[in-house]
Amino acid sequence: MDRVAELAVNTIRTLTIDAVEKARSGHPGLPMGCADFAFVLWTKFLKFNPANPGWEDRDRFVLSAGHGSMLLYSLFHLAGFKQMTLDQLRAFRQWGSATPGHPEFGVTDGVECTTGPLGQGTGNSVGMAIAQKYKAARYNEEGFPVCDHRVYAIVSDGDLQEGVSHEAAALAGHLGLDNLTWFFDDNSVTIEGMTDLACGDDVGGRFAAYGWHVVRVDGHDHGQIEGALREAIAHRGAPTLIIGRTVIGKGSPARQGKPKAHSDPFGPEEVAATKRQLGWPEDEAFGVPGEVEAFFAGLRPKWAAREAAWGRMFEAYAARHPEKAAAWRDSAAKRLPEGLASRLPAFSPGKAVATRSAGGEVLKVLMGELPWLVGGSADLAPSTKTFVKECGSFQKGSFGGQNLHFGIREHGMGAILAGLAYHGGLVPFGSTFFVFTDYMRPPIRLAALSHLQVVFVMTHDSIFVGEDGPTHQPVETLAALRAVPNLSVIRPADANETAQAWLVALENRARPTVLVLSRQDLPVIDRGGCAPAAGLARGAYVLWESAAGAAPEVILIGTGSEVHVCLEAGQRLAAGGRRARVVSMPSWDLFEAQPASYRDEVLPPTAAARLVVEAGVGMGWERYAGPAGRVLSVDRFGASAPSQVLAKEFGFTVEGVAEAALALCGSRGC
Ligand SMILES: Cc1ncc(C[n+]2csc(CCOP(=O)(O)OP(=O)(O)O)c2C)c(N)n1
Ligand SMILES: [Mg+2]
C-alpha cells in the first residue's frame, strides 16, 4: 500500500473514533474494518462527482450496514461533498446535523438510501440495479450509453443473516444483474459475540447457488480488492459478491477483531492507543493530513470531468434522439401528460366491479402512457390485477419490460421498490394481498421516512375475502398503516374512486401511497344522485344527503366496501323521515391535510349522530365518531365463511347499519 493510501484509510479510522468519542455513542468497528475496501472503491472505481451529488448517471453506493455511518461521512468529507464539513463530523449524531446516527436519505448529500435496519440496503441496491438495467434498455442508443452506471453495496454479517437479503440476492442472481456488486464485510463478529454463536452458513456457497459470481479477498489488501473489483466489472451475466476477510475495529490494539469494537466509544485511553498504533498525533482530534487533502483535491477535477463528458454526450444524444431525450427528462420529472385523468376508464353505474379489477384497468392506461411507472407483484398478479401484458416483463435478457416479477418475496419486494424509487425517475408499485402487508412493513416504514414515491397496491382488503378465513382476512392492518407518519392510505369505495386514488398516488411525490382494494365486486355508485368521485382527493366528502342545506341528524361515515352499504342505509333512514348524510372517507391522511373549514363542513362539530362503518378494528375511529357516536367495526379476527354470511354475522348489512344508526339517533333523542 502506498503511503498516501495508508494515511487516507487511517484518516477514515481516526475521524471515526474521534466522532464517536465526541458524540459518546456510535459504531466505530465497521468503518475501521471497511476503510480499505471503501478507499479503493471510491478512489479507483466509483463514478460520481462530489460537486453534484445528484448526477443521474453516477454509480450508486449503498452502505447497507447503516450503523457504520461514519464510514460514509468520512468519505464524503474527504471526497469534498460541500455539506460535509469537519464541523458536521464534530456534530455527529446531534440535533439538526447532517450526520445522523444512521444514514438518512434526503438529509445528507451522497446518502443514496436510508439504512440501519439491517438487510434493507441489500434490497435497495437490487432495486437500484434493476432501475439502471431498465433505463439502459429503454433509453440507451448506439454510441450513447446515457444510463451506464453500477451499484455497489457494503453488506455485513447482520445484513446477510436477515431474510430480506436472501430474497433480494436470490432475485438479483436469477435476473443476472451484472451491474451489482456487494462487498461482504466478513469480520465474524456481531453484537452478542462471534458469528458462530448463531450462524454457520457457507455464504459463498449460498450465493453461488443463487447464481452470483463469488470472489474472496483479504479485505485489507488493496491489490486484491482492486483485482476483485475489476473482476466484478468484467464478469457478465451475474452479480458479484466479494467476500472480504476483515478485522472489525482494525487499528485498535485492545478492541480490534472483537465484538466490543462494534459499538460505543473507545474511551480516551484506547483512542490514544489506537492513534499511537496508527502513527497519528495523539493529542489531535479530527485531523486530516495535508497529503490526504491534496490527494483528494487531485481527484476532484477528474470526477468533475467525467460528469461534464456525460453532459456533452447527453446533449449530442438529445440532438440525435430528441424524443428519447424528452422521454428521459419527463421521466426524471415524473411529468404527467396533459389530460391524463380524462383518459382513465370511467365506470358506469348499474355494474358491480371489484376495486382490484378497476385498479387493473386504470393501471393498464397508466403504464401505457407512463414509461416511468414500473412494478409487479409477489406472485399474485392474476389476483391483484397488476400485470399489464402489453408492457412486457422485466427478465434477464429483456430488461425493458415494465412488469416486474418478484416471486413470493414480499419483504424483498418492498425493499426493491424503495431502491427503484431511490434511484430516481421511476414510480414503482408492488402488490400483494392486504393481509401480507406485515411481510413488508419495514420497507413501507422506511419509504415513508425517506419520502419515497412508491405505490403499494394491496387487494383482498377485509373479512369479505370470505372462505379463505381469518389467516387471509386483514382486520388490524388499516389501523396499523394509518399510524405510520407520512404514509398515504386510501381505501376507495368503488371503481371510480379507485381511478381517482391512482391519480392521487401519482401526485403524492414525497410519500408512499397504499391503495387498499377489494377482492369482491362492489356496485359502481350512481354519481347522478351522489357527489363526483373526485372528492376522494380530499380524503372524505359528502357523498349523498337527504336534505342538502339542512343540518343532518345522522351521519354515516364509511370506507371502501362499506360505503355502498352506508348509502343504502342512509337512503332508508331518509325514507323513514331522518335527515341523513353519507360520507365516503377513503383516507384519513388526505382529510387531515384539508383546511379545518372543509373538515367542519363534512363532519360538522355540532349536532348529528355519527356512525362509522368499517370492516376492520375500530381503533382510532373514535376521533371521527365523536364522543356520542359509534363505530361499527370488527374487533376480533374474522372467520372462514361466505362473505354474505360474514356481513350478516358482523352487522355489515343495510339493515344492520340502519338499525345501528337508528339506535344511535334514539339514544340521542334525535
Ligand atoms: C433489523 C435489525 N435488527 C437488529 C439491529 C441491531 N443491530 C445493529 S448492528 C447489529 C449486528 C452487528 O453485526 P454486523 O452486522 O456483523 O456488524 P458489525 O458488528 O460487524 O459491524 C445488530 C443486531 C438492526 N440494526 N437491525
Ligand atoms: Mg460483523
Mean pLDDT, 10 residues at a time, over the chain (670 residues)?
A: 95 98 98 98 98 98 98 98 98 98 98 98 99 98 98 98 98 98 98 97 98 98 98 98 98 98 96 98 96 98 98 98 98 96 96 97 98 98 98 97 98 99 98 98 98 98 97 98 98 98 98 98 97 98 92 96 98 95 98 98 88 98 94 98 97 97 80
- Structure confidence at residue 1 (pLDDT): 75
DSSP bridge pairs for 544: 582
**198 CA distance to ligand 2 middle (Å):** 12
Determine the straight-line distance between the first and last CA of the chain, rounded to whole angstroms: 86
C-alpha cell at 109: 448529500
DSSP bridge pairs for 214: 241
CB-based contacts of 318: which residues, under 8 Å, 6+ apart? 325
Q: Among the atoms of ligand 1, which is closest to the Cα of residue 159?
A: 15
CB-based contacts of 422: which residues, under 8 Å, 6+ apart? 60, 105, 112, 113, 124, 127, 128, 450, 452
**158 CA distance to ligand 1 middle (Å):** 5
- Coil vs helix vs strand at 2: coil
The CA angle 362-367-369, to the nearest 5 degrees, is 100
Among 16, 72, 190, residue to substitute to test ligand 1 (most atoms within 8 Å of Cβ): 190
**159 CA distance to ligand 1 middle (Å):** 7
Q: Which helix (H) or strand (E) holds 155?
A: strand 151-155
C-alpha cell at 521: 365486486
- Measured distance CA(11)–CA(79) in Å, rounded: 12
**157 CA distance to ligand 2 middle (Å):** 5
Of all protein residues, the one whose alpha carbon is nearest to atom 25 of ligand 1 is 117
C-alpha cell at 665: 339517533
Q: Are 559 and 586 in contact (CB under 8 A)?
A: yes
Q: Is 460 in the pocket of ligand 1 (CB under 6 A)?
A: no
Which ligand does the CA of 67 lie closest to?
Answer: 1
- Measured distance CA(245)–CA(419) in Å, rounded: 27
- Structure confidence at residue 455 (pLDDT): 99
Of all protein residues, the one whose alpha carbon is nearest to atom 15 of ligand 1 is 158
Q: Is 262 in the pocket of ligand 1 (CB under 6 A)?
A: yes
Q: Looking at residue 57, what DSSP letter applies? A: T
Q: Is 30 in the pocket of ligand 1 (CB under 6 A)?
A: yes
Q: Among the atoms of ligand 1, which is closest to the Cα of residue 187?
A: 20
Q: Looking at residue 393, what DSSP letter applies? A: B
**151 CA distance to ligand 1 middle (Å):** 22
Q: Is the pTM of this model over 0.75?
A: yes
- Coil vs helix vs strand at 463: helix
- Measured distance CA(56)–CA(48) in Å, rounded: 9
**Catalytically annotated residue among 21, 361, 410, 614:** 410
- Measured distance CA(287)–CA(282) in Å, rounded: 10
- Structure confidence at residue 670 (pLDDT): 65
- Measured distance CA(619)–CA(196) in Å, rounded: 44
Q: Is the dihedral angle over the CA atoms 449, 453, 454, 460 positive or is it negative?
A: positive
Which ligand does the CA of 262 lie closest to?
Answer: 1
Annotation marks residue 659 as catalytic: no
- Structure confidence at residue 593 (pLDDT): 98
Q: Is 156 in the pocket of ligand 1 (CB under 6 A)?
A: yes
Q: How far is CA 270 from CA 253, 274, 316, 644, in A?
A: 8, 6, 56, 70
Ligand 2 ion: residues within 5 Å (CB): 156-157, 187, 189
**451 CA distance to ligand 1 middle (Å):** 24
Which ligand does the CA of 158 lie closest to?
Answer: 1
- Structure confidence at residue 431 (pLDDT): 98
- Structure confidence at residue 607 (pLDDT): 66
Among 67, 162, 252, residue to substitute to test ligand 1 (most atoms within 8 Å of Cβ): 67
| H-only helix segments in 109-264 | 120-139, 157-161, 163-175, 203-209, 222-234
- Coil vs helix vs strand at 666: helix
Q: Is 67 in the pocket of ligand 1 (CB under 6 A)?
A: yes
**191 CA distance to ligand 1 middle (Å):** 7
Q: Are 464 and 650 in contact (CB under 8 A)?
A: no
Among 70, 118, 157, residue to substitute to test ligand 1 (most atoms within 8 Å of Cβ): 118
Q: Are 657 and 498 in contact (CB under 8 A)?
A: no
Q: Is 158 in the pocket of ligand 1 (CB under 6 A)?
A: yes
- Measured distance CA(126)–CA(442) in Å, rounded: 16
Q: Which of 133, 116, 113 is nearest to 180 (CA)?
A: 133
- Percentage helix, strand, coil, to 5, in the chain? 45, 15, 40
Cβ–Cβ contacts within 10 Å for residue 510, how many? Answer: 10
Among 191, 246, 258, 445, residue to substitute to test ligand 1 (most atoms within 8 Å of Cβ): 191
Q: Is 190 in the pocket of ligand 1 (CB under 6 A)?
A: yes
User: Where does 614-663 show beta strands of DSSP type E?
Assistant: 630-632
- Structure confidence at residue 547 (pLDDT): 85
- Coil vs helix vs strand at 613: strand
- Coil vs helix vs strand at 311: helix
